[in-house]
Structure 1
Amino acid sequence: MSTSALLSALRVGGRQKISASSFGARAQATGSHVFRIHRFTQVREKVANGAAIQSGTFGVGGHDWRVKCYPNGNAEEDRGCISLFLQNASHAKTGDAMAGYKLSILDKSWKPSRTRSTDEHHFMGRGWGWDKFMKLEELDKEKHLQDDCLSVLCDVTVDTGLRTEDYTDEVAAAEELTKAPPPFPVHGIAEAIWNRQEPDVKIEVGDGQTLAAHRWVLEAGSPVFKADLALAPNDTVAELRVGDMDADVCKALLRFMYTNSPPPELESMAGRLLVAADRYELEQLKLACEEALCKNIDTSSVTAALALAERHGCTVLRKAGMRFLSSPGNLDVVLASSDGLEKLKTSCPSALLELLDKKRPLNEQLISTRV
């Protein structure tokens, strides 16, 4: 049982102010360092096989570390390769260290191009790494040696021992969520879920409001929410920030995920909710929004509807908009507006091209507009 679940169970028994701590979790410290070797081609020509160049030291987890690079290999059998190692440079002062590490050669966009890693090693005075990290013939001047500079990234995670964890912040978050009401009227299955299990996710929306939800509901309903929550530990209250969504849309989104039904006010927010449904890959909700928008297509809204369909891949909505514009009378009204043609050209060019093939009058108007 997670600590948050334990606290929730104890709180049900009438205990309102609860603190908690636990001993046994291993503490870790992480850090990164970039070692850049300028004029690498010249360096490789001058540094012999078995000779190393080394980075400056950098501190992580109470120890000083350095990267060692052998441009022509660490030993005779490593000729033709780059050898890379990580060394506990402060071993004489700070002693042994348990650490995992990752070494990467970066490309010109500063992304790892070749990476090797290991979970944990016992570092004493000697270094750990790879004799044949990368063949020299695999180094590309354009990809790896921009301005003849080789960049090596080192990520280190040091085990700093057992620690006592204080759950004060988690308790506060759990208490806040316990008091939070459901973000929509609950009944049936949704009510049963809410009454049986306390929410364990806080969602902060763009207008500053915070909504409560259950992690397993979000993960089961949306692969995007599942990916967002993957980084949050399972035994803590997860916090999500959705800055481009207002509270009403987020409540409608959550309502659908719990009840599989759109909100009663769907027509008034269908456009905004469609954008959210597309982002979180809720295809059924997205289709419901499309159908609601189709019912209200007129000469003032058809261009916006087609633009929305084009941006978010809405087949049903696009077909409805094209059917509406296929009527000569409707098309004439749209084109007669001051910016009707310009909106079609800029917001939904594929729809315009399709209309060009079908409507000669529109084609003639375009020609006269260009002239």
Structure 2
Amino acid sequence: MASSPEAAPCSSSTWVMEKVTGTHLFKIADYSLAKGIGAGNPISSATFDAGGFDWAIAFYPDGQDKASANHISLFLCLRSDAGNGVKAAFSLTLLDQRRPPPRQPGRYLKDDCLTIQCTVSVLKKPRLETPPNARPVSLPPSDLHRHLRELLESGDETDVTFEVCGETFPAHRLLLAARSPVFRAELFGPMKERSAKRIKIDDMETLAFRALLHFIYSDSLPLELEELAKEPSASMFQHLLAAADRYGLERLRLISEDRLCRNITVSTAATTLVLAEQHHCCRLKEACLEFLASPKSLIDVMKTDGFEHLKISCPRL
């Protein structure tokens, strides 16, 4: 398999906003007597601490001003010197002391006593946390492809042999079946090769089959294929594309198609176009037609043996 890129070192950190919460209950006894003291006159609770600051509740029985005279008003007051300010969230709640059905009058009064609950959450300075021993571990790249390639080269525990144009290639049934749906059907399906220890292939180049096996085990192309000269390389990739399509190796088919798209010449354009048409490679076909769109290139291609092959194989093109 192709050598996967080394995994990037991974580390972590956490941004934490801490809060400190305090709650104060403020009871107004003889609430009925407090009503009528006039708008704008507050009743203040005792000072209480929450989050390291002093706070107090200001309760206006007749509202803060004349506009709110028919309502009560509640405020939270900061009694400490906040310096650079303080961030806080708070809630002021009238406790339901009788728990009657909703909207029933008097639910907040019990024995003429009103209870106000104030909850204050003071936000502290945020901090950044990193786990102890957070130094990232450097991971080596995967070497699975190397081990599988060595397994192929060693020939250990092989259980099937392919004979291609007189040359033999020992392999492992399970690995072939895992990588290729066609091999899976041939080696483990009802086809005759299921029990065969030796399978003969006459319609494939030995170099193409060797490269095919190498790719199945390592997910990469053999070095000798990369080092081929330009035009022999194009011919080799034509055979490899056909082999990849035959055995359902889509990634290898796309790799071969890409190499051929970047290696179209006068001597290969016609045969490559035939291949693209036969194996339904739309991108490769477009690249060939684009190359042939040049009048000079077309004239030169028409002089090649490959053009005669094109006319016979694909007369409609």
What is the TM-score when the length of structure 1 is the normalising length? 0.39
Greater per-residue strand proportion:
1
Greater per-residue helix proportion:
1
What is the TM-score when the length of structure 2 is the normalising length? 0.45
Q: Bigger radius of gyration, 1 or 2?
A: 2
